[in-house]
Amino acid sequence: GLLAALCALTVWLGDCSSRCAAQPVSSSSTASPTTPPPLSGRALRLHRRNCADSLAALADLRRVKASVRQELVRMERERTKIMQQIRASRIELANLMRNQRKISADTEIARSDLAALQIRLAEADQRNLPVLRLPLNISTLKSASAVDKASEGNCGLVDCFDYARCGLADQRPRFALLYSATDSLTDAARLLNSSRRLLPDSMSTNVAVRDSCLVLADVGSSSKSTLSAVPAATNLVAMLLLPASAASERLRRGLIAERPRAVVASRYQPSGSYRPGWDIVMPAKAPFRSASDLWAALPPLVPARRPRLLAAPLLPGANSSWWRQISDVDRLVLDELQRLCRSDVVDNLTSKLELPALAGATFCPILAPAGAPLSTLGGQRRLLDCLLAGSVPLILGDMLPPFGDLLEPLWRRAIVRLPRSRSSELAWLLATYSDATLLELRRHGRLLLERHLGTWRAQAATLLTLLNRRLGLPGPAAVGPTGSSALLPGHSRLLMGRVPSHFDETQDYLGAVEPPLDSVLFQHNYTAPAPISQLPNPLLNYPSLPGHPPPPPTDAQFNGSAYGYRPINHSMGTGGVEFSRAAGGNLPAEQFTAVVLSYNRESVLVGSLSKLAGLPYLHSVLVVWNGERPPNPSTVWPDLGGVPLHFIRGPGNSLNNRFLPWSQIRTEAVLSLDDDVYMRQDELVLAFRVWREHRDRIVGFPARFHARSGSGWVYDSNQTCEYSMVLTGAAFLHVHYLHLYSYWLPAALRAEVDRLTNCEDILMNFLVSHVTRKAPIKVTSRWTFPCFGCSQSLYKDDSHFFERSHCINYFSGMFGYNTLLYSQFRADSVLFKTRLGTDKVKCFKYV
């Protein structure tokens, strides 16, 4: 203001000075009539004096103006300097407050962890743990008493099995497989040969049979020579797989007379001499050599109801001894079956009907008349034909399915059993089955073929599993491949660049970053054998299964950060801080392994890996390198805060490599990631928490759906109100599904993925939905993956959507039906979009 006033006064004085300087000397001769009269001498002097004073005042004011301007500039500099100091002080204060909050949170976590460790230490001191030593040797079975029991028909594992040869501390091989090389084409030889391929060296041997726990011997036409090679005291499983029931009956009598303690594994099991829990009912001849041939030949499961309600009944020929003694009740049953199926008798019901005829019927009857053997070769063939045709087996009478004591839970879901006396009510009873029930019966029948009956390999694995369950011993461990390093030999050490900590007051506190914690693997060894329905290969002992129930919590679990339980401090709000410190859910705390599939894009991969730095619950990161060349040795990889980073070279450039169960995976949870996916850490932590409560499903982010188009299916990525697939470019799934994808699915499905370089995520969704009959779970509203800096991506190809529609139709044909299930459910955090007071804390701020 002062400067403005000085400027105004200076202007006025300057104007006066100008007027003074411009005042002319008057002359009477030149004066105009309008010109004012000239000043007198005195007035002129006074005027000049005033002008001089004004000029002097003007000069003073100009000097004052310059001085004031300099002072104002100095003061502005001082003000700017003071404002910078204030701004720096505020930033320093904010940093101090942020560090103070972080230190307070870490201190509280450490205090809680210390209290939990003290509680666990006190519990360990009070617990009387036994001293673990090698088990003592088992006493040898007395042969005389065992023979007496066997001769009475009461042979069982307690009385007739010599466990002394199968002790836990015994180093002898578990199985010895004995069959003649000249009879390699017999059913028993094929089965034992497949068994030899399945067993590791530690479980099978070529040495003398007296050094093994259990001998599996082919006692077909050359039973005398085979039995002579087996000592009498040896645990023997006699494989009696002859093409005729009459020959099996004769050899069975002689075998039991000579070796009463032998386990008879045969398709022919008479009702009088069959020993439950000891003898084994065997299936008919395996119809296919490989799983791919089996899957390709199986008919579709839909529609649920077929043109005919019942297929024509099939019985052994009239020359059978017990068929000649068939009762009047059984003849009435046969008449009723013929009436219902509306077909004539075919060659006295002795000819085997073709599979297409069976495929046209909803139910496939199998009649077991009174007095018939519990299992016959014809009955087992008929049962296998029914399953191959996709027709639901309907057993009227007493008939034992193969591997019954092991597969009984599956047989109850795949066949229908009715007493023969209710044959007159068949039409009404069969009409009560709903479409959903029929499809479930048919689906479990297909699972029996795929896993246990359809190939020699499947039958051998099931037989060995049954014997292992009887012995109470686990099978060989199902371990994945150990990938070789993708880095060059001279660059085995990774260059790590620093990455800022994930802690930021503008973001959620997602939890502490802890050292790697392996999941508890191989829990189904001795005390809790896994349910047979969950095992793709029943022989193997899988590291973990997705369906185990949560254990009840203990006091230590309620107070320990190593478990999923935390007390809520209500004085701190709604428990958001405590929620972030524990894994949550009903299971002990655990971590996950990130598997990233990459191909010759180091810069893009560095960006996605940097997003994982400081991520809670992250155990390790596996980069599956599909590129033809090794990663650039000059690449500076981000520092993941102590989390191990492995680079694994995949076996060729295949999208299937992302689902190999690598031995470096030491956790049950697997986060499948693409190298161009940039995810926020709060999204990943929320998805991991959701997966922990739905361990048997795929839990991820972008979702897609399939829609009907004419007689086929099309793939659609539009945003709709329901979905049926979750893309595995960013999804959590159980490690067990990696074993199923890589080693249980037929190779033809994975070959189709390699042919198209597409659809591996669709195939995984098909697999999980087929096994669980549950839809995947979508988390948060994210629908796409924007990739910054990506020059090319597979989905940008014009044929991308056409190929994915083809995959859905191809997979539906191989699985027998479209396994995908729709869902309208999306998972967000509990307090998402909930209005809270300023003194409350949310579980997550933005998801």
Tell me the pLDDT band of 149, cut-offs 50, 70 and 90. low
845 secondary structure, DSSP code: S
End-to-end CA distance of the chain: 55
β-sheet bridge partners, residue 583:
none
Please state whether beta strands 730-734 and 669-674 pair in parallel, antiparallel, or not at all (unpaired): antiparallel
Is position 761 annotated as part of the catalytic site? yes
CB-based contact 113:561 (threshold 8 Å): yes
669 secondary structure, DSSP code: E
- pLDDT higher than 70, residue 22: no
525 secondary structure, DSSP code: S
Closest CA to 743 of 457, 480, 466, 454: 480
Neighbour order of strands in the sheet with 712-716: 712-716, 703-709, 725-726
The residue-averaged pLDDT of 344-350 equals 34
Query: Which of the following is catalytic: 761, 797, 798, 828?
Result: 761
Greatest mean pLDDT range, 198-207, 242-251, 321-330, 657-666: 657-666
The residue-averaged pLDDT of 792-810 equals 80
- pLDDT higher than 70, residue 519: yes
The residue-averaged pLDDT of 9-18 equals 62
The residue-averaged pLDDT of 181-202 equals 79
Closest CA to 176 of 210, 222, 126: 210
Q: How far is CA 9 from CA 86, 487, 569, in A?
A: 38, 81, 72
CB-based contact 399:375 (threshold 8 Å): yes
pLDDT at res. 506: 43
CB-based contact 266:244 (threshold 8 Å): no
The residue-averaged pLDDT of 160-189 equals 76
pLDDT at res. 11: 65
Give the number of other Cβ atoms within 10 Å of residue 373's Cβ.
Answer: 25
pTM for this model (two decimals) = 0.79
- pLDDT higher than 90, residue 821: yes
CB-based contact 238:251 (threshold 8 Å): no
Which residues 6+ apart lie within 8 Å of 721 measured at CB? 824
Q: At what angle do helices 404-412 and 456-471 cross, to 10 degrees?
A: 110
> Looking at domain 495-551+587-827, what is its CATH homologous superfamily?
Spore Coat Polysaccharide Biosynthesis Protein SpsA; Chain A (3.90.550.10)
Q: How far is CA 115 from CA 553, 565, 570, in A?
A: 17, 14, 19
Which residues 6+ apart lie within 8 Å of 813 measured at CB? 300
pLDDT in tens, 291-306: 889 998 999 988 888 8
pLDDT at res. 563: 42
Least confident range from 92-96, 149-153, 162-166, 660-664: namely 149-153
Greatest mean pLDDT range, 61-70, 143-152, 483-492: 61-70
pLDDT at res. 441: 94
Helix or strand run (H / E) with residue 706 = strand 703-709
The Cβ-side half-sphere exposure at 753, using a 13 Å CA radius, reads 21
740 secondary structure, DSSP code: I
The residue-averaged pLDDT of 101-129 equals 71
Please state whether beta strands 725-726 and 703-709 pair in parallel, antiparallel, or not at all (unpaired): antiparallel
Tell me the pLDDT band of 318, cut-offs 50, 70 and 90. very low
pLDDT in tens, 370-419: 777 888 888 899 899 999 999 999 998 889 999 988 899 899 999 999 88
Q: Is the pLDDT higher at 134 or at 478?
A: 478
- Helix extents (H) in 280-434: 291-297, 321-324, 328-341, 355-359, 377-388, 404-412, 426-431
- pLDDT higher than 50, residue 559: no
Distance CA 323, CA 748 (A): 45
Could you tell me the two tokens for 81?
A: 């300097």
Distance CA 162, CA 169 (A): 15
Helix or strand run (H / E) with residue 204 = strand 204-205
User: For residue 463, how far is the Cα from the chain centroid?
Assistant: 28
Q: In the chain, what's the furthest Cα-to-Cα distance?
A: 169
Q: Does domain 291-313+332-337+348-454 have CATH number 3.30.420?
A: no
Tell me the pLDDT band of 13, cut-offs 50, 70 and 90. low
Tell me the pLDDT band of 205, cut-offs 50, 70 and 90. low
Region of residue 614 (phi > 0: left; psi between -120 and 50: alpha; otherwise: beta): left
The residue-averaged pLDDT of 765-790 equals 84
pLDDT at res. 211: 76
Could you tell me the two tokens for 377?
A: 């070769």
Q: Does residue 303 have a cis bond before it (omega within 30 degrees)?
A: yes
The residue-averaged pLDDT of 535-548 equals 78
- pLDDT higher than 80, residue 91: yes
Distance CA 764, CA 772 (A): 12
Which residues 6+ apart lie within 8 Å of 681 measured at CB? 502, 507, 510, 611, 612, 614, 615, 616
pLDDT in tens, 674-689: 998 888 888 999 999 9
Q: Is the pLDDT higher at 364 or at 153?
A: 364
pLDDT at res. 701: 92
β-sheet bridge partners, residue 266:
240, 281
Tell me the pLDDT band of 556, cut-offs 50, 70 and 90. very low
Helix or strand run (H / E) with residue 14 = helix 2-21
Burial letters 583-594, b for 16+ CB under 10 A, else e? bbbebbbbbbbb
Domain coordinates of the chain in residue numbers? 157-281, 291-313+332-337+348-454, 495-551+587-827
Tell me the pLDDT band of 86, cut-offs 50, 70 and 90. very high
Long-range contacts formed by 128-131: CB under 8 A, 24+ apart: none
pLDDT at res. 571: 38
Residue-averaged pLDDT of the chain: 79
Q: Is the pLDDT higher at 740 or at 54?
A: 740
449 secondary structure, DSSP code: I
The residue-averaged pLDDT of 510-531 equals 72
